[in-house]
Amino acid sequence: MKRSLEKFYDWLNERVELDDLIKFMGKKYVPVHRHSIWYYFGGVSLFLFIIQVVTGILLLMYYKGSEEFAFESIQFIMSKVQFGWLIRSIHSWTANLFILTAMIHMFSVFFEKSYRKPREITWLTGMLMFFLALAFGFSGYLLPWNELAYFATKVGTDIAGVVPLVGKPIMMFLRGGEEVTGATLSRFFGFHVAVFPGIFTVLLGIHLLLIQRQGMSEPLSSEHEPVSEQKRMPFFPNFLLRDLLLWLIVLNLLAILAVFFPWELGKKADAFAAAPAGIKPEWYFLFMFQSLKYIPGKLWIFDGEVFGIMLFGAAGLLWMLVPFWDRKSARGEKNRFITYIGLFVIFYIIILTIIGWAT
Amino acid sequence: MQAHQSKRDFLKVILGGSLLAWAGTILYPILAYLKPPSQAEAEVSSVKAGKLSDIEKDSGTIIKFGSKPVILLRTAAGDLRAFSATCTHLDCTVQYRKDFGLIWCACHNGKYDINGRNVSGPPPRPLDEYKVNIQGGEVFISKRS
Amino acid sequence: MGNMKLRPGMLVAALLAAAVCRGSAAAPDQCVTCHEALDDAPSKLFKHDVHFKKGLSCADCHGGNPRSDDAETAMSKKEGFIGAPKGDEISKTCAACHADPEAMRKFGSQLPTNQWENLQASVHGKLSTTGKEHIVQCTTCHSAHGIVHVKDPSSPVSPLHVVETCTKCHANAALMRSYNPSMPVDQLDKYRTSVHGIRNAKGDPNTAECASCHGSHDIRSAKDVKSRVYATNIPATCAHCHSNAALMKAYRIPTDQFEKFSRSVHGVALLQKNDVGAPACNSCHGNHGAAPPGVESVSKVCGTCHALNADLFSSSPHKKAFDDRKLPECETCHGNHEIVAASDSLLGVAAGATCGRCHTEKESTKGFLAARSMRTLTDSLVNFEQHARTLIDEAEQKGMEVSEAKFRLRDVHQARMQSRTMVHAFNEDKFHDAIQKGLVVAAAVSQQGQQAIDEYYFRRFGLGFATIIITILASSLYLYIKRLERKQARSESDRSGS
């Protein structure tokens, strides 16, 4: 067995020069310090993304993306296809967990200020991927074409339409028309399985390539320590095996969730029915949704909702551009201010999500 | 050294074996999933009842609305009506009888006119009406709010 | 002086009506004296009138001075003469006394005083085709001058004559058409074929006639909810006599029909649920031509609503068998007044089942076996349906998706309903087919339900199995990592050490 593997390696090496690559990868080290644990969240996010791709492709075998068949096709998957219930529930659960781990990953990077020079592009691609993850969530949510999804999409695209100037055209583009219809479903399906995965893969490629090239970022505090004092472990095989171990446990967790907390399907969307009372978006949008409720109807000359949306837009932009305005971290200095901002944001999100969920 | 060797091998055996077993628990569901089920396609329940042009005048069909049957009528004049197809007498499923020009229940000969009103036989109440909308040539049935 | 004959005509103000009723002295009534001499019909009739006998004079209704023998004086406007009242004036004149309890008491009368009020609220109180007065006045039925007590056999409103009085208008097709073209005018003909009508013709004053059911002054349209002959009120109207034991004793008719009917499925529907589609007494017995249906026509009568069952019965072997034995078809098994919801227990040969009453094992073996088999089939369908339903419920409780199977259960229910109708063909094969349809679906649904439940357990079992494997894999991987790192640490220290 080993012999044939060696032979295969030699054959490949002659043509692709793998030796250089192997040597390079062998030199990759992961710093070991008290914040090392956060390093794992990037990997788990990647793992969950892979799960989404695999389960997504499997679902594509049976899902029908038209208004007439979408709901029934998922019902079919849940009840008639062998293990269809498992694939579908894992896909739905993973979607949520993926966003959660991505958020944790993002915040840990933020607090560690790992976005600082030379890793600005890594941060940017990461933020773009995060926004794409939210877009994945929003578009995927509609695909079952159930009551909840239909109205959530209606409300969500309505909010998009509120943005001044470009809002209406954006809304029409998203909806494929004036209202949420089968045309909307087709578009969202296209975005979800083709457009977003394509863009995401490119961004992911850049993100991973940069990490390989630049290595793992170390905490600001340890930058001043001599190299000999810094504890490290080789990426291959140590960190990788640990990563795989964690991924194994996460996989088991997903299976347990799928069996004991299967994802619901609800009722088929009825365009002519009234919206169910107390409709709210998925948890990852909830804090924004809830915030909008607190803004008064009119602020000076601005419409309250528009103001709120623009405010969130501006906040998101600032957050994404942090490597460029955080001068201190670029210089290698501690920046308490950033930490406080990060803490504020976390608490804000958590508290408003809880309020939004409880009311 | 000997003890270490056997321990090493034992661990490697367990690792290898469980890895294979694990691969099996992943592959088996995926392969079973890909095998087409006996019922090839999802059944249409349809809140959407089809194209208007496909529905004949003076005819009625039963459509599954969620878990309930709904009868969709197209009158001789071309109007569309939809009613609950559950007879108000003892819950049998009604049908449209072209020869009567009425909705008829096979169980006890109950009759409803094309407005869903019980006109003959045991049914005590009319049939619940459903809303019919036509959007872009397609017929949609929805509950009366 | 105008025509003394009563005809709805122009109204004359009758302000003196009250004064008129004060009654006159015991002096001879000059009106009568004069008019009798003139051979006037009303005055002749008036001699027999109960009002005359009570001491009232012509002037008490017509006004004028009854003591004067001079025509001019007696019938002068100054003396309050109003001539022959026309239209509503007539009834108002009667009501002047008859609606006044004080006045009635003065004459020692026990008569009710609500007739005018009731008449105005009744269907007869509506405006006539001229639009100037009510359709009917008191004198329309009671006549004007020879009024006698209602119990007097010569009264036009006595039980033996009221039929003629009513049909004077109600059998007149042209007249009825001017008010209600869809109203029938054949009531009298039908009535004369009924038991009530036959007895009435023979001179029985106790049997039902028009007023018995429709009322007298307070007659309302049958479509009026307050009418005595509105669907939900009919049973009580019939029961007024037919539940009166003393009255029915002479005719030897039982008096438990109303009570039984009230308990029946028809009675509950009509009287408690107000379902006017349910039959009242007249639906099966007829109203004007009321009579119990004959033996051979019971299934036709029941069949006006229960058409399928009646058809099946009529083409079944039971039709001839029952008719020959003078058994009243549907009633034999289902009863007549106290028809309760048919349950499965009616079918079969067990105690309490109807089939076994005739089809005994020894004397009617074929029928006995058929009945028993049909009951067994029904029971098996009921059990299968229940079993399927239980399985589906359990699967649903467990969170499994079984909406399609649940939908199919309707077919089982439908088969059961249709088999209960098919019983009336009394044909084992046909019945078996109807049941079979349900059994097949029930079996399929049960299977689906069981599969769903099995799947539920399979998932949990599968998860447990996979978790065990993953745990073994994870633990061995962990140990491997630890071992690897120990090796690395050792080689590190070896390198830096020695």
Q: Tens of pLDDT along A59-83?
A: 999 999 988 889 989 989 998 899 9
Please tell me the distance in Å from B32's CA to the nearest CA on chain A. 6
pLDDT confidence of residue A9: 87
Please tell me the distance in Å from A285's CA to the nearest CA on chain C. 28
Looking at the predicted structure, is the pLDDT value of residue A295 above 90? no
Got the DSSP string for A273-308? Answer: SPPPTT----HHHHHHHHHHHHS-SEETTEEHHHHH
Please tell me the distance in Å from B100's CA to the nearest CA on chain A. 33
Of A79, A241, A255, the CB nearest to C481: A241
pLDDT confidence of residue C23: 45
With beta carbons under 8 A apart, name residues in chain A contacting B142.
270-273
pLDDT bracket for residue C11 (50, 70, 90): very low
Residue in chain C lying closest to A82 (CA): C455
| A292 reaches C (C-beta below 8 A) | no
Tell me the average pLDDT of chain C. Answer: 88
Partner-chain contact B29 A83, CB within 8 Å? yes
User: d(Cα A185, Cα A151) in Å, to the nearest integer?
Assistant: 13
Which tops the pLDDT comparison, A185 or B144?
A185
| C161 reaches B (C-beta below 8 A) | no
Task: Give the mean model confidence (pLDDT) for residues C419-434.
Answer: 93
pLDDT confidence of residue B43: 56
pLDDT bracket for residue C375 (50, 70, 90): very high
Q: How far is CA C314 from CA B86, B126, C300, C301, in A?
A: 29, 30, 9, 12
pLDDT bracket for residue A229 (50, 70, 90): low
Tell which of A72, A75, A79, A87 to mutate to test the C interface (max C CBs under 10 Å): A79
Which burial class, exposed, middle or buried, applies to C181 when counting CB atoms under 10 A from its CB (0-12, 13-18, 19+)? exposed
| B8 reaches A (C-beta below 8 A) | no
Of B33, B42, B145, the CB nearest to A58: B33
Please tell me the distance in Å from C397's CA to the nearest CA on chain A. 13
Looking at the predicted structure, is the pLDDT value of residue C119 above 80? yes
Of C308, C411, C480, the CB nearest to B109: C308
Assign A265 to helix, strand or coil: coil
Report which listed range, A3-7, B72-76, C72-76, C474-478, is most confident.
C474-478
Over the stretch A95-124, which tens digit does the pLDDT of each residue have?
999 999 999 999 999 999 999 889 999 999
With beta carbons under 8 A apart, name residues in chain C contacting B91.
410, 413-414, 417
Partner-chain contact A64 B42, CB within 8 Å? yes
User: d(Cα C258, Cα A352) in Å, to the nearest integer?
Assistant: 70
| B27 reaches C (C-beta below 8 A) | no
The helix (run of H) or strand (run of E) holding residue B134 is: strand B129-135
pLDDT confidence of residue A227: 65
Partner-chain contact A252 C402, CB within 8 Å? no
pLDDT confidence of residue B5: 67
pLDDT confidence of residue A101: 97
| C399 reaches A (C-beta below 8 A) | yes
Point out which residues pair with A232 in neighbouring strands: A31
Please tell me the distance in Å from B138's CA to the nearest CA on chain C. 25
Partner-chain contact C414 B92, CB within 8 Å? yes
Please, are residues C348 and C370 in contact by the beta-carbon 8 Å criterion? no
Task: Give the mean model confidence (pLDDT) for residues B96-106.
Answer: 90
pLDDT bracket for residue C259 (50, 70, 90): very high
pLDDT confidence of residue B42: 58
Looking at the predicted structure, is the pLDDT value of residue C405 above 80? yes
Task: Give the mean model confidence (pLDDT) for residues C104-112.
Answer: 89
Query: How many contacts (CB atoms, under 8 Å) link B and C?
Result: 72
User: d(Cα C87, Cα A354) in Å, to the nearest integer?
Assistant: 83
Over the stretch B59-76, which tens digit does the pLDDT of each residue have?
999 988 767 889 999 988
User: d(Cα A197, Cα A159) in Å, to the nearest integer?
Assistant: 25
Backbone angles phi, psi at A267, to 5 degrees: -105, 150
Over the stretch A28-61, which tens digit does the pLDDT of each residue have?
888 888 788 899 999 999 999 999 999 999 999 9
Looking at the predicted structure, is the pLDDT value of residue C13 above 80? no
Please tell me the distance in Å from A228's CA to the nearest CA on chain C. 13
Q: CB under 8 Å, gap of 24 or more: what pairs does C477-483 form?
A: C477/A241, C477/A244, C477/A245, C477/A248, C477/B15, C478/A245, C479/B11, C480/A241, C480/B11, C480/B12, C480/B15, C481/A238, C481/A241, C481/A242, C481/A245, C483/B8, C483/B11
Residue in chain A lying closest to B29 (CA): A83
Of chain A residues 218-277, which have a CB less than 8 A from chain C? Answer: 233-234, 237-238, 241-242, 244-245, 248-249, 251-252, 255-256, 259, 262, 265
pLDDT confidence of residue A301: 78
CA C370 centroid distance within chain: 37
Partner-chain contact B34 A58, CB within 8 Å? yes
pLDDT bracket for residue C498 (50, 70, 90): low
Partner-chain contact A68 B44, CB within 8 Å? yes
| C472 reaches A (C-beta below 8 A) | no
Q: What percent of chain A has pLDDT over 90?
A: 56
Over the stretch C170-227, which tens digit does the pLDDT of each residue have?
999 999 999 999 999 999 999 999 999 999 999 999 999 999 999 999 999 998 899 9
Measuring CA to CA, which residue among C177, C292, C280, C297 is closest to residue C238?
C280
Please, are residues B118 and B110 in contact by the beta-carbon 8 Å criterion? yes
With beta carbons under 8 A apart, name residues in chain C contacting A75.
401, 403
Task: Give the mean model confidence (pLDDT) for residues A251-277.
Answer: 87
Measuring CA to CA, which residue among C300, C287, C297 is closest to residue C184?
C287
Partner-chain contact A255 C466, CB within 8 Å? yes
Of chain A residues 57-86, which have a CB less than 8 A from chain B? Answer: 58, 61-62, 64, 67-69, 71-73, 75-76, 80-84, 86
Query: How many contacts (CB atoms, under 8 Å) link A and C?
Result: 48
Name the token pair of A127: 């933020």
Backbone angles phi, psi at C236, to 5 degrees: -65, -40
Partner-chain contact C477 A249, CB within 8 Å? no
Q: What percent of chain C has pLDDT over 70?
A: 94
Looking at the predicted structure, is the pLDDT value of residue B8 above 60? yes
Of C407, C418, C476, the CB nearest to B106: C418
| B124 reaches A (C-beta below 8 A) | no
Looking at the predicted structure, is the pLDDT value of residue C19 above 90? no
pLDDT confidence of residue A215: 85
Query: How many contacts (CB atoms, under 8 Å) link A and B?
Result: 63
pLDDT confidence of residue C15: 42
pLDDT confidence of residue C17: 43
Residue in chain C lying closest to B18 (CA): C473
Partner-chain contact A268 B42, CB within 8 Å? no
Measuring CA to CA, which residue among C141, C144, C158 is closest to residue C46?
C144
Per-position b or e across A304-317, b if 16+ CB within 10 A of its CB:
bbbbbbeeeeeeee
Name the token pair of C325: 């034995």
Partner-chain contact A256 C463, CB within 8 Å? yes
Looking at the predicted structure, is the pLDDT value of residue A136 above 90? yes
Helices C428-496 and C365-397: crossing angle in degrees, nearest 10, is: 20
pTM of the model: 0.72
Of C404, C474, C485, the CB nearest to A248: C474
Please tell me the distance in Å from B121's CA to the nearest CA on chain A. 34
User: d(Cα C106, Cα C23) in Å, to the nearest integer?
Assistant: 10
Measuring CA to CA, which residue among B123, B118, B71, B63 is closest to residue B94?
B71
Helices C307-314 and C403-422: crossing angle in degrees, nearest 10, is: 50
CB atoms within 10 A of CB A350: 11
pLDDT bracket for residue C497 (50, 70, 90): low
Query: Which range has the worst mean pLDDT, A294-298, C7-11, C218-222, C261-265?
Result: C7-11
pLDDT confidence of residue C292: 85
Partner-chain contact B66 A273, CB within 8 Å? no
CA A26 centroid distance within chain: 30
| B13 reaches C (C-beta below 8 A) | no
User: d(Cα A342, Cα A111) in Å, to the nearest integer?
Assistant: 7
Name the token pair of C4: 């003394």
Place of tokens 């799928």: A258
With beta carbons under 8 A apart, name residues in chain B contacting A72.
42-45
pLDDT confidence of residue C139: 92
| B37 reaches A (C-beta below 8 A) | yes
User: d(Cα C491, Cα C486) in Å, to the nearest integer?
Assistant: 9
Looking at the predicted structure, is the pLDDT value of residue A257 above 60? yes
Name the token pair of C241: 């006599």
Residue in chain A lying closest to B19 (CA): A248
pLDDT confidence of residue C238: 94
Looking at the predicted structure, is the pLDDT value of residue B45 above 70? no
Q: How far is CA A234 from CA A26, A186, A239, C485, in A?
A: 7, 47, 7, 10
Tell which of C302, C472, C484, C490 to mutate to test the B interface (max B CBs under 10 Å): C472
Looking at the predicted structure, is the pLDDT value of residue A16 above 90? no
Query: Which range has the worst mean pLDDT, C8-12, C156-160, C300-304?
Result: C8-12
With beta carbons under 8 A apart, name residues in chain C contacting B66.
403
Of A86, A245, A256, the CB nearest to C474: A245
Looking at the predicted structure, is the pLDDT value of residue C379 above 90? yes
Tell which of B10, B13, B25, B45 to mutate to test the C interface (max C CBs under 10 Å): B25
Please tell me the distance in Å from B52's CA to the nearest CA on chain C. 26
User: d(Cα A250, Cα A252) in Å, to the nearest integer?
Assistant: 5
Task: Give the mean model confidence (pLDDT) for residues C416-423.
Answer: 92
pLDDT confidence of residue C22: 45
